[in-house]
Chains A and B, each alone.
Chain A
Amino acid sequence: MFANAAITGVGQSAYTRRPEPSQSTATFIRDAVVAALADAEIDARDIDGMAVASFSLAPDAGVDLAWKLGLNLRWLLQDTNGGSSAMNMLGHALRGVETGAASAILVVGGDATGLGGYAKVAANFNTVTQMHLAPLGHGGPNGVYALVTSRQMKKYRLEKSDYGQLAIAQRAFAAHNPHAVYRTPMTMEDYLTAPLVADPLSRYDCVPVVAGAQAIIVTHPDRCPRGRAPVRVRAHCASFNYDNQEGDGLQTGISTFANELWQAAGVRPGDIDLASIYDDYPTMVLAQLNDLGMIPGSDLQRFARHDIGERRFPLNTWGGMLSAGQPGGPAGGLNGISEAVLQLQHRAGARQVKDARLAVATGYGMTMYRYGGTAAAAVLERAE
């Protein structure tokens, strides 16, 4: 439990599939920062730490961003862990505030690659991708997770429609999120008849790339705006390169620390009121939930049909990245954390989970070769 550090404010920029020429990664980040500072009711001059992650900030670095934002810092982190960057930065920020290295840390992620720019990122993700995957025309992460999905379908006897349950349930939440890029309700027929992208993945299995940014503020819980509950983190764990890419990808790095996470948090999976699970693909949502021990008996099929299909468990209540959009992995992960914060502060409007008190949030990413190699998770709590 972090006693002296909490999340006190969240903010995001607009999300858009096609940014205007006047918009850039930096301008989206600025908009998210302004929104988060206002939400936390904290002056920019009080920010003395910043963590940033972005695939498209270069050639600028974190300190350039601090300069352009007029932030004078004594704590600075630039994270490169893609889909788990947000959760990773959160862990570092909590420890930074808890130990007194900084008193108020801005955590921000954003990207505005555009679709063509994202294709370049995907083909040049690392040297292994450049040398051994991109020349195959592997389709970026879509191709990688198509293979993982086939494996998961075989192992757990899943049907295509089981993944549809997740996409449809998340779309229903997105209808209540004004920031989501896709809000029109989706039917199973819509899902099943969507064009194939990389067999067996079709359009609604693949996270839509958007431009946008997301930010949160981590500071002492006493600095939370009056009348609002700060959100504490009961436990935080991370994993990097958990299996040398030699497994089947159906387990994530979360499997290496899940027991430790729950033990440190002092709660059980069944106590959780809602989950923000990094959802670049429905396949990996099921894999992470299973690793967390949140799918009884590892019966993924029953969980998809019963718990999600019948809306028994609130999963990715902002619509997830699958409906809200993925403004790069780092900001996408921050969106899940921000949603958990809004839910625990009872500020989620029409998508509010009644009496939400505990949430789990995850990050997963860095598709090194056959699947992602980084993962992190936290148990968040409404501090009364």
Chain B
Amino acid sequence: MTPGDGKKTGVGIWRCVKCRTGFFPQRLLCARCHGDTFEPDRVYEAVVEEISVIRHMLGQTDWQPRRIASVRTSDGQRITVGLTDASEPGAVIELFEDGTAPFGAAKR
């Protein structure tokens, strides 16, 4: 799933039923209230805080550089995403998933 296909896909998070705090990655107990029940939720946007270009990967000879970023979601989580475009720090991006991995690209 990629952004720009008309659907808001977002990234799945886990929200504590008791205190409503959202988490990514998944936890066993809520770090705030230690509640043990979570419900799935989604976040759709984030602001890019830092980026890096991974230019070298141990054990790989034909590696193509990839961009990753630390972002703050609209719900407050700081998560690491793959960037599929040239978004820079400060940009608002749209979040989406590929399997269990979170990605982002500039809002269209």
Binding site for B on A (CB under 8 A): 115-116, 118-120, 122, 128, 131-133, 135-140, 142-144, 146-147, 150-151, 154, 195-201, 209, 244, 246, 369-370
Contacts and interface: CB of A to CB of B under 8 A. Distances in A.
B100 A137 contact: no
B99 A244 contact: no
Contacts of A131: 25, 100-101
B52 interface: yes
B39 to A, nearest CB: 19
A192 to B, nearest CB: 16
Contacts of A142: 54, 56
Chain B, interface size category, equals 20 to 34
B31 A151 contact: no
A94 B20 CA distance: 44
A146 B66 contact: no
Interface string B20-35: 0000110000010000
A132 B102 contact: yes
Interface of B: 24-25, 31, 49-60, 66, 68-70, 78-82, 98-103
A354 B7 CA distance: 67
A208 to B, nearest CB: 11
Contact of A137 (B25, B31, B69, B82): B82
Contacts of B68: 136-139, 143, 147
Contacts, number: 102
A200 B51 CA distance: 9
B101 to A, nearest CB: 4
Given A119-B58, A138-B68, A370-B70, A196 B80 contact: no
A221 B52 CA distance: 49
Contacts of A143: 52, 54, 68
Nearest to A369: B25
Contact of A132 (B31, B49, B100): B100
A198 B55 contact: yes
Given A118-B58, A139-B57, A143-B52, 10 more contacts: A132-B24, A132-B25, A136-B68, A136-B103, A138-B54, A139-B56, A147-B80, A200-B52, A246-B31, A369-B80
Contacts of A244: 31
Nearest to A117: B59
Given A131-B25, A136-B103, A246-B31, A199 B70 contact: no
Contacts of B60: 119
Given A119-B59, A132-B102, A369-B25, A139 B80 contact: no
Contacts of B102: 132, 136
A195 B51 CA distance: 18
Contacts of A132: 24-25, 79-80, 100-102
A250 B54 CA distance: 21
A140 B55 CA distance: 12
A135 B82 CA distance: 9
A145 to B, nearest CB: 9
B54 A198 contact: yes
Given A143-B68, A147-B68, A147-B70, A135 B101 contact: yes
B25 A122 contact: no
Contact of A138 (B24, B25, B80): B80
Contacts of B82: 135-138
B81 A136 contact: yes
A370 B52 contact: no
B56 A135 contact: no
A116 B59 CA distance: 5
A137 B57 contact: yes
Contacts of A201: 52
